[in-house]
Amino acid sequence: MRGRSSLPVLLLNTRPAAETSRLPEGAAKAKAVRAMFDTIAPRYDLVNRIMTFGLDRRWRRTAVTSLGLQPGARVLDVACGTGDLCRDLVAAGHQPVGVDLSMGMLSHARTSVPLIQTDALDLPLPPSTFDGAVSGFALRNFVALGPVFRELGRVVRPGGKVALLDVSEPANPILRAGHSVYFGHVVPRIGAAFSDRDAYRYLPKSVAYLPPGDEMLDQLRQAGFESVQRRLLSGGVTQLITATRGGVSG
């Protein structure tokens, strides 16, 4: 499983430049993202189930399985939110630790695993602490991916695995058009009905933050990961990036 994935690479940053420029950057982005998730935390899980028709559960289980770790492995859940992936990791026999920027999300977490409120760009954790790491639909919400990947490379031991989920856009033109209508127009209406309208208007636009697929894979390699691959799930509406920490396993 070494080298680039043979799957087609999608260019995800295809939003118009004017739309991208309206999105916050740097410290302003971190502040906006934290405030947004603090606001939507109480009904976050409910809205996820509704807007994904429950498929988000399948995607997370796929991510956990893709780690290929033995039971008892220590796994870091980055941007753990309300703990969905933490619960899946526990069900798989692992020992997760969750970190998230939003205290609102952590306060609504439905898990008893250790949780830390912190920025993924500067994790307060020792090197080579974890056998693996996961992240669920958070890549586009980080201020920068390079520093996050480097932190994962620091805290995951050599030979450890990572599995990173986020949204994507189908390659098929018909599916892509339907997905665009649903994600851009239906999802904000669902969010307005059950949670916060402005937050669920932002989330579809936030796809513009994601670099092209091959660029994300290269950033992971630069952070010390090998066997980097990218899979498209459910017709291409979701992507799963997996990689192995390079170096000699201790």
pTM score:
0.87
Token pair in block for residue 52: 């994904």
Mean pLDDT of 33-61: 92
Q: How far apart are CA 108 and CA 81, in angstroms?
A: 8
**């941007």: which residue's tokens?**
79
Going along the chain from its start, the domains and CATH numbers come out as 17-245 (3.40.50.150)
| Chain centroid, CA 125 distance in Å | 20
Answer whether 228's CB lies under 8 Å from 214's CB: no
**């994962």: which residue's tokens?**
152
The chain-wide mean pLDDT, for the chain, equals: 88
83: exposed, middle or buried (Cβ count in 10 Å: 0-12, 13-18, 19+): buried
Question: Given strand 74-78, what is the order of strands in its sheet?
Answer: 115-117, 95-100, 74-78, 130-136, 156-167, 238-245, 225-233
152-207 confidence digits (pLDDT tens): 999 999 999 999 999 998 888 888 888 888 888 888 888 888 888 888 888 778 88
96-131 confidence digits (pLDDT tens): 999 999 999 999 999 999 999 999 999 999 999 999
Q: What is the pLDDT of residue 248?
A: 66
Helix/strand/coil for 239? strand
121: exposed, middle or buried (Cβ count in 10 Å: 0-12, 13-18, 19+): middle
Q: Is residue 93 pLDDT above 80, yes or no?
A: yes
Nearest to 165 by CA among 104, 200, 210, 222: 210
**Length reported for the chain:** 250
Q: How far apart are CA 157 and CA 47, in angstroms?
A: 35
Nearest to 212 by CA among 143, 137, 140, 119: 140
With a pLDDT cut of 70, the percent of the chain lying above it is: 90
